[in-house]
């Protein structure tokens, strides 16, 4: 599995320091959460900040998580899609929430599928129709399909992971069961064909996230792996 570290972006030295820490850490991707910054910064100022970031050998993932997906900003569909169009011009991947797509609207109308992580979140429960959700994402052929749910019990975790294993696609897949009950999905999801885990450096962006250090130790023992990409 690869590891993805989320950071909330702003224009302070604190963020710059955290970003440098992530660049020099043993994570593989850095997720830049933009919703908090958009409450304080002009979108074009934010894009200027992103354009000059140097991730070294890490891959960047730009995410705008709105309030209807557990995030920190309210945006109309038009505002959201316009921001995604701008983010697609940067060097990195873009997270797009499945709920932002109309039934007849192609993802390609505002985001490049080859650089899109198409995601679905449910912070309250585990939907009954997991296969339907996977297939709804599949029709857009994104680089990555991500499904994150809140389990009520172990059976919900098992159901999510089995749905990931059984979903056949050329896209990469990420299946996350949030909270303590879902720890197995974050640590050993690759056994069910989930290729990535989100870990924290200091600040969690979702329930149940492990720290990067804790994840490395639990995955491989006391000293962690020599290269996170080989996990």
Active site residues: 121, 146
Contact (Cβ atoms closer than 8 angstroms) between residue 135 and residue 159: no
Close Cβ partners of 162 (under 8 Å, ≥ 6 residues apart): 192
Instruction: Give the H/E segment covering residue 2.
Output: strand 2-8
- Which is it for the CA torsion 110, 113, 114, 119, positive or negative? positive
Contact (Cβ atoms closer than 8 angstroms) between residue 38 and residue 64: yes
Contact (Cβ atoms closer than 8 angstroms) between residue 161 and residue 175: yes
In angstroms, rounded to a whole number, what is the distance separating the alpha carbons of residues 117 and 104? 19
In angstroms, rounded to a whole number, what is the distance separating the alpha carbons of residues 59 and 93? 8
In angstroms, rounded to a whole number, what is the distance separating the alpha carbons of residues 64 and 67? 10
DSSP 66: B
């Amino acid at each position: 599995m690869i590891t993805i570290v989320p950071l909330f972006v702003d224009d302070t030295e604190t963020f710059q320091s955290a970003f440098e820490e992530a660049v020099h850490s043993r994570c593989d991707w850095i997720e830049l959460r933009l919703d908090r910054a958009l409450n304080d910064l002009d979108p074009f100022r934010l894009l200027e900040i992103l354009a000059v970031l140097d991730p070294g050998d890490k891959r960047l993932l730009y995410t705008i998580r709105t309030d209807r997906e557990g995030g920190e900003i309210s945006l109309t569909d038009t505002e959201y899609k316009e921001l995604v169009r701008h983010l697609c011009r940067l060097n990195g991947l873009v997270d797009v929430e499945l709920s932002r797509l109309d039934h007849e609207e192609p993802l390609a109308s505002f985001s490049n599928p080859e650089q899109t992580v198409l995601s679905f979140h449910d912070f309250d429960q585990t939907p009954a129709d997991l296969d339907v959700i996977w297939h709804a994402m599949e029709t857009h052929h994104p680089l990555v399909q991500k499904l994150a749910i809140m389990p009520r019990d172990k059976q919900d975790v098992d159901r999510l992971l089995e749905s990931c294993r059984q979903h056949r696609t050329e896209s990469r897949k990420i299946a996350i069961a949030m909270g303590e009950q879902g720890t197995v999905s974050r640590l050993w999801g690759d056994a069910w064909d989930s290729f990535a885990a989100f870990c924290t450096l200091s600040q969690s962006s979702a329930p149940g996230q492990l720290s990067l250090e804790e994840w490395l130790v639990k995955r491989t023992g006391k000293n962690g792996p020599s290269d996170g990409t080989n996990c």
